[in-house]
Amino acid sequence: MQTKAGGPGAFADFDLSRVESPAFVVDAAKLRDNCRVLAGIRDAAASDGASIKVFAALKAFSMWSAAPILGEYLDGVSTSGLWEARLASEFYDGEIATYCAAYKPEDLEEVCRLSDHVIFNSPGQMQRAALILEQAQVTGGDVSVGLRLNPMVPTGEVPRYDPSSPGSRLGFPIDQLTEEHMEGVEGIHFHNLCEQDFEPLRRTWDKVFDVIEPWFGQLKWINMGGGHHITRADYQREELVEFLRDAAEDTAAEIIIEPGEAVALDAGILVGTVLDTGFNDVPFAITDVSATCHMPDVIEAPYRPAMLGELTDESQVPTRLGGPSCLAGDVIGDYRLPVKAEAGARFAFLDQAHYSMVKTNTFNGVPLPGIWLWDSETDVLECVRSFGYEDFRNRLS
């Protein structure tokens, strides 16, 4: 995969020595900018009275110290199970929409209590949960039940990240949907994009529209999922506004999108330090940033994260950066560092606010990066979370 990082932004002037290493640094001002764009799309689409909402997907960015920023602009959050729903109820404003590929029965009662929308992956799960859903209604809950559909329209660059790839377990195959399956369903959910622009959404909707049209009038809401890179500079925003407005008019339902990456796109960096250097066919450096522990998508996708200030002079021999773990494949990539590749040198990777913090782990006892919140407009910098040995110890036994 190619990185979608849009550039350093205000981080071009950030002094990397101001934070301990390794560290995630998130720019509050950039978060506000992204949220303004998302809210502007919503408001423009709803200008003629259409019901449009934007939720933030916590699976991509759940830095709850930034929740007040999101709550100022967006309508709520989407969560992926009980623990994210709890986090949402504690820190985030607005509605909570919860989808999980499969709920444990013992979790579902609380999920229903915390959530405004509970979305099931299959009609079978929904049927087995009937008593719990009925009890939630009896006890005063106002939970609205939805079904996730698999549109069966592959659009992704990487099959493992494409919910419509053949054999996908995510969502009920749209060609199997029957009238019986839709009994009691108030909402439809589909999530079919990954770091994409408008056209894949249109293609997906063309397929979904034809199948669910018989239930227009029954459906109260339609959640079109995430993966919309709306805050990227080249996204077709005018087309999206018109599309959302038309979808609300055609379906007489509330239309919801739940971007994750778009909320935090280009809003964070991961600061690291060179620990040692060497040569083995190529120059290499061992850093306190680990691909496998701090940026797993580098290995899973795979992709090469952009570096802050990386040199473009091809006459300079690049240095291969890798983490401190014992995994031979803990390699981030080859880079022409903007500083001399020597012990103590600081560097940073761009666009690391989303899908990095939420995926970190402590394999090998590699320390977790601290989490810092910086406001590039005021230059206020705060360490909102640091991690120590106890965090590693306490997740083991």
Does residue 39 lie within any of the structural domains? no
In a domain, 342, yes or no: yes
Identify whether residues 235 and 130 lie together within a single domain. Answer: yes
Domain boundary among 228, 246, 264: 264
What confidence score (pLDDT) does residue 197 get? 96
For residue 329, the model assigns a pLDDT of 97
Write down which residue in 264, 295, 326 finishes a domain.
Answer: 264
Q: Are 153 and 213 part of one and the same domain?
A: yes
What domain range includes position 85? 46-264
- 280 and 259 assigned to the same domain: no
pLDDT for 307 equals 98
Q: Do 167 and 247 belong to one domain? A: yes
Same domain, 200 and 348: no
Specify the pLDDT at position 265: 98
- Which of 248, 264, 280 finishes a domain? 264
Does 57 share its domain with 183?
A: yes
Q: Answer yes or no: are the C-beta atoms of 273 and 292 closer than 8 Å.
A: no
Check: CB of residue 229 under 8 Å from CB of residue 260: no
Q: Same domain for 246 and 332?
A: no
Mark out the alpha helices in 252-323 (DSSP H runs): 261-264, 291-294, 297-300
Nearest to 196 by CA among 269, 101, 262: 262
Q: Which of 16, 34, 35, 37 is nearest to 25 (CA)?
A: 16
Q: 235 and 288: one domain?
A: no
At 6 the pLDDT is: 87
210 and 323 part of one domain: no
Q: By C-alpha distance, which of 190, 171, 221, 194 is closest to 51? A: 221
Within the chain, residue ranges assigned H as helices are 28-45, 67-73, 82-91, 105-114, 123-128, 130-138, 198-212, 237-251, 261-264, 291-294, 297-300, 389-393
Question: Taking the complete model, does pTM exceed 0.75, yes or no?
Answer: yes
> How far apart (Å, rounded) are the C-alpha atoms in residues 85 and 77?
9
Query: Tens digit of pLDDT for each residue in 310-354?
Result: 999 999 999 999 999 999 999 999 999 999 999 999 999 999 999
Residue 34 lies in a domain: no
Is 170 contained in some domain?
Answer: yes
Percent of the chain past pLDDT 90, that is, above it, reads 93
Regions in the chain scoring below 70 on pLDDT:
140
Widest pairwise Cα distance in the chain: 71
Classify residue 216: in a domain, yes or no: yes
Q: How far apart are the first and last CA of the chain?
A: 37
CATH of the domain at 238: 3.20.20.10
CATH number for the domain that contains residue 293: 2.40.37.10
CB of 3 closer than 8 Å to CB of 305: yes
Has residue 303 been placed in a domain? yes
Identify the three-state secondary structure at position 173.
Answer: strand
- Shared domain for 74 and 163, answered yes or no, is yes
Instruction: Give dist(CA 373, CA 371) in Å, integer.
Output: 7
Q: Is residue 151 part of a domain?
A: yes
| Chain centre to alpha carbon of residue 325 | 26
Same domain, 141 and 254: yes
User: Following DSSP, what letter does each residue of 235-260 receive, concatenated?
Assistant: --HHHHHHHHHHHHHHH-SEEEE--S
Total structural domains within the chain:
2
Q: Give the pLDDT confidence score for residue 121 in this predicted structure.
A: 98
Does residue 210 sit in the same domain as residue 68?
yes
- Cβ neighbors of 342 (< 8 A, separation 6 or more) are 274, 277
State residue 5's pLDDT score: 78
Domain contains 143? yes
The conformation of residue 174, written as its DSSP 8-state character, comes to G
pLDDT of residue 266: 98
